[in-house]
Amino acid sequence: MRRRAVAAIGMLALSALCQAGCEPPDPTPVGRGRRVFQRTCSGCHGPDGRGVMRLGLAKAPRDLTDAQFHAQVTDEQLRSVIRTGKGQMPAFGGLMGDEDLSNVIAFIRTLPPGAKAPPSAPHALVAPEPSSVRGVAQ
C-alpha cells in the first residue's frame, strides 16, 4: 500500500514538472536549428543571437540579429564559417553534420532585429560589464 502511494505521488510530481517546463520538440528545421543553436552557439552568441561579451574573447561575437548582416551574408558563407571557423569563432564542422548546419542556418535566418530569447533558452555565461565591477579601473 505504501509503495503504491509513493509511486502515485512520484507520478503526479513528474507529471506536474513536465506540464510546467516540458515543451514538445518542434520538428521543423527551424525548431531543430533552435535546439542546436541553444546547445552549441548560445554560449557566445547569446540565447537571442545578439552576441555576448565573455572572458577570453577579444570582442563580442557577431550580432546575428543585425539586418545588414543578413542582407550581406549568404547561407553558403554562414555554412563555411560555422564549419571551419573564422577569427575568434572556432570550427563546428566536427560537431555538426550537414543537416544540423542547415537547421542552424534556418534558425539564424529567423532572428529579427531586436530578437528576444526563446522562452526555453538557457542562460549564457557572461562576464560582468566593467562598470559594474567595483574597484576595477576603467
Q: Would you say residue 72 lies in a domain?
A: yes
pLDDT value, residue 130: 43
Higher pLDDT, 77 or 132: 77
Q: Would you say residue 5 lies in a domain?
A: no
CA nearest neighbour of 79 among 99, 102, 63: 102
Q: Would you say residue 95 lies in a domain?
A: yes
Res. 26 pLDDT band, cuts 50 70 90: confident
Convert the pLDDT of each residue in 59-80 to its tens digit: 999 999 998 888 899 999 999 9
User: With 90 as the cut, is the pLDDT of residue 121 above it?
Assistant: no
Q: Would you say residue 62 lies in a domain?
A: yes
Number of domains in the chain: 1
Q: Would you say residue 117 lies in a domain?
A: yes
- For residue 120, the enclosing domain spans 25-126
Cα angle 77, 104, 127; round to 5? 95
Q: Would you say residue 110 lies in a domain?
A: yes
Q: How far apart are the first and last CA of the chain?
A: 67
We report the CATH number of the domain holding residue 59 as 1.10.760.10
